[in-house]
Structure 1
Amino acid sequence: MALQYAVNKKSARGFTLVEMVTVILILGILVVGVSSFIIFGTRIFVESSSVDQVLSQSRFAVERMTRELRGALPNSVRVNTDSLTYQCIEFVPIQASTTYLSMPIAPSTAAASGTVILDNVASKIAVNQYAWIYPLTDSDVYNSARQKRAQIKTISTSGNQVSLTFTVNSRFAEASPRQRIYFASVPVSYCFEKVSSANELQVRRYVGYNFTAAQPKPSDMGTGVLMAQSVANLLSDSNDLPLTLTPSSLVNNAMVHLQPRFNVNGETFQYRHQVQVINVP
C-alpha cells in the first residue's frame, strides 16, 4: 500500500517553475524569430509592389506620350515651363490626312468648300474637325489669324473624292508643296505638375479644351487625368527638366526629349527617350 501511494504521488506532480520559464523563453525566441521573418517578408513585398506600381505607371505614361507625339500635327508641338509649378507640352493629334484636289488658297477668293481624295485615312474625316494646310509655326496651328485652318460643317462622298464645306468662307494662306491637308479636333497637353503636399511632380493629361493663341496653364484646361506620380525632376533646374523640345527646321523634324526621373523607396530611375515628330507640312 505504501508503494502504491508513493507512485501515485509521483505521477501527480506538474511542471516546475524552472521548466515553465524555460518553455516560455524558448517559445518567445521562436515567436520573435518567426515574426521577424514575416515582417521582413511583408516589407519586401510592400516595397516591391510600390516599385512595380511606379514602374508600370511611368512606362504607360512615357509610352502613351511617345505614341501620341509621333502622330502630332506638323509644328503643333510647343512647351511651356513655369520653374515653380509645372512644365507642359501641347500638341494636336492628327485624326486624318490626305491630298487635296481643290481648296480656297490665296490669292484665290475665300470660299466655303473644297475637295480631297478619299482613302483609308481620309475616311476618318468627320464633321466639326478642323482642316490645316501648310502650318509652318505653332501660331499657324493655334491662332487662326494667318488663315491656316478651317472648321468642317458637312461632308459628302462621291467615288474617290470627298467634298467638304466649312462653317464660314475660308481662304488658306499658303498652298502645300505636296498638297497635304490634315484634320484634327482638339489639342492635347501633358503636364508635369508639382504636388503641393510633397516635393515631387505628377503627370496629368489634358484634353477637351479650346485652341488658344498662347499656350494655356494647367488651371485653364480643366481637370486632367492622372498618368503617373513620384516624378523627381527639378523644374527650377534647366538641366533637369522632364521635357525638352528641339523645333523643326528645313533639314530636321521636330524632336522631343523625354527624360522624366522617378523616385520610389529611395531608388531613382530615369527614362531618356527621343521622339521624332515625323509629319511634315
Structure 2
Amino acid sequence: MNRARGFTLIEMIVVIVITGIIAAMVAVFLRKPVEGYFDTARRAQLSDIADTALRRMARDVRLALPNTLRVTDGDRTVEFLLTRTGARYRAQPRSDGTGDPLDISTLDTGFDILGPPITFQNGDRIAVYNLGPNIPGANAYVGDTLSAYTGPPGAQSHVSIAAKQFPLASPASRFQVVEGPVSYACDLTSGTLWRYWGYAIQATQPNAASLPSLAGVQAARLATLVTGCSFRYLEGVTERSGVLELSLTLSDGGENVTLYHTVHVDNEP
C-alpha cells in the first residue's frame, strides 16, 4: 500500500516564519524608494502649480499700462491697469489739411489712428502718456490720463472718446487701450492666490479684504496650498523701467516648494 505523504505542523510554522522575515526585509528596503517616489511626485505637482501661477502673472504684468503697478498688504497684493492693445495717434493734420489729430490744448472727442485699424470693445478706456502718481496731474487711477471710448465695437481707424483734454502729449504719439484693473492677492488663511478683475478703477488701491466686495468684481483661483508669497516692485533709476519680484511658496504633506520669478516692467509711456 502507498503511504500518504505531506508536511508536518512544525514545517508549516517554519515556512510561515521564514516568509514573514523575508516580507519584513523587503518592506524595509522598499519603504524609502516608495516614499521618495511619492515625495518627488508631490514636489513636482507643487512646482507645476507655482510655475503656472507665476507665468500667468508675468504675462499680465507685461501688458500693464506704464506706471500703474502698485503693491499693498505687506507685499501680498499687486494691482495694475491691464491693456489689450495700443497704437499711434495722429498729432498733426495731413499736408492738405485733412485728418483728425488729437488736440492736447483743448477738449477733444476723437482722433485718427496712424497705421492699421485696431479692435475696440465696449467699456474700453484710452490712455495717453500716463506718468503715474509721482507726477501731479498724470495719474490714470484718478482719471488724469484716461478717457472712455465711445465709438462702436470692432476694428476702427478713428477713436471716439468722451470729451477730454489730456494733460500731456506723448513724445512718440502713443496711446493704449485699457481694459480695466487687475489684482493678484494672496489669502494665506485659505492658502489661495486669487486673480480679481471687472471692478471699477479705484483711486486708492484695494486690498485682499476689500476686493471680493467691490461692485462687478470677478475672481478666479490661480493657485491653492499657498503658505507664503511676496510681490515687490522695484522702480528703475530713470522710472522708465522696473522689476517686479514674485515669490510663491506652496506646501503639501510636509513638502515645501518656493519659486522666485522676476518680471521686467516697461514704463515708457
- Normalised-by-shorter TM-score class: 0.7 to 0.9
Matches within 5 A, 1:109-128: 110-119=107-116, 123-128=118-123
Question: Aligned pair in 2 of structure 1 residues 104, 157: CA closer, same or farther (>3 Å)?
Answer: farther
Equivalent in the alignment of 1:212: 202
3-state secondary structure, aligned to 1:274: strand
In structure 1, the residue matched to 2:35 is 43
> What secondary structure sits across from 1:242 in the alignment?
strand
Q: Assess, with a 3 A threshold, how the Cα gap between structure 1 residues 221 and 81 changes in structure 2: closer, same or farther.
A: closer
**C-alpha deviation, 1:29, in angstroms:** 2.4
In angstroms, what is the RMSD of aligned CA positions?
Answer: 2.9
1:103-114 to 2 correspondence within 5 Å? 103-105=102-104, 107-108=105-106, 110-114=107-111
- Distance in 2 separating the partners of 1:17 and 1:156: 90
Cα pair distance change 1:271/1:47, threshold 3 Å: closer
Q: Report which stretch shifted further, 31-40 or 52-61.
A: 31-40
Q: Secondary structure at the match of 1:103?
A: coil
| Deviations, residues 41-97 of structure 1 (Å, cap 9, x unaligned) | 543333222111101011111122222212211011110124xxx711111222111
> Which letter does structure 2 place at the counterpart of 1:258?
L
**Residue 94 of structure 1: aligned partner:** 83
1:189 matched residue in structure 2: 183
**Taking every aligned residue pair, what percent have the same amino acid on both sides?**
25
How big is each residue's C-alpha offset from its partner over 1:98-127, in whole Å with a ceiling of 9 and x where there is no partner?
11112242x31x2332222233xx523333
How far is the alpha carbon of 1:205 from its aligned partner?
Answer: 1.5
Find the counterpart in structure 2 of residue 78 from structure 1.
70
Secondary structure in 2 aligned to 1:60? helix
Residue 228 of structure 1: CA displacement? Answer: 2.5
Q: TM-score w.r.t. structure 1 length?
A: 0.77
| CA-CA distance at 1:227 after TM superposition | 2.1
Whether contact under 8 Å (2:184, 2:194) holds in the other structure is yes
Structure 1 unaligned regions, length at least 5: 234-240
Q: How far did residue 152 of structure 1 move? A: 0.9
How many aligned positions are there?
A: 250
User: Does 2:192 match 1:202?
Assistant: yes
The alpha-carbon deviation at position 269 of structure 1 amounts to: 4.4
Which AA in structure 2 matches 1:228? A
What does 1:148-163 align with in structure 2 at a 5 Å threshold? 148-155=145-152, 162-163=157-158
1:136-168 Cα shifts (integer Å, max 9, x gaps): 115722221x3x11111214999xx822222x3
Letter of the aligned partner of 2:84 in structure 1? Q
Kept in 2: contact 1:230–1:263 (CA 8 A): yes
Partner residue of 1:30 out of 15, 18, 22 = 22
SS at match of 2:193: strand
- What corresponds to 1:130 in structure 2? 125
Q: Deviations over 1:208-263 (max 9, x none)?
A: 22211111123433363222234443xxxxxxx61111235535412212233444
Kindly indicate whether the alpha-carbon contact (under 8 Å) linking 1:95 and 1:124 is maintained by their aligned counterparts in 2: no
Equivalent of residue 243 in structure 1, options 210, 216, 231:
231
Q: Which runs of 5+ in 2 are unaligned?
A: 91-100, 213-217
Offset at residue 23 of structure 1 (A): 1.4
The equivalent residue for 2:96 is none
TM-score (norm 2): 0.80
The answer to whether the 8 A contact 2:46-2:257 is kept is no
1:175-225 CA-to-partner distances (Å, cap 9, x unmatched) read 1121110102121111122125xxxx4322222222111111234333632
1:58 to 31, 50, 72: 50
Q: Distance in 2 between matches of 1:279 and 1:124?
A: 23
Larger Rg: 1
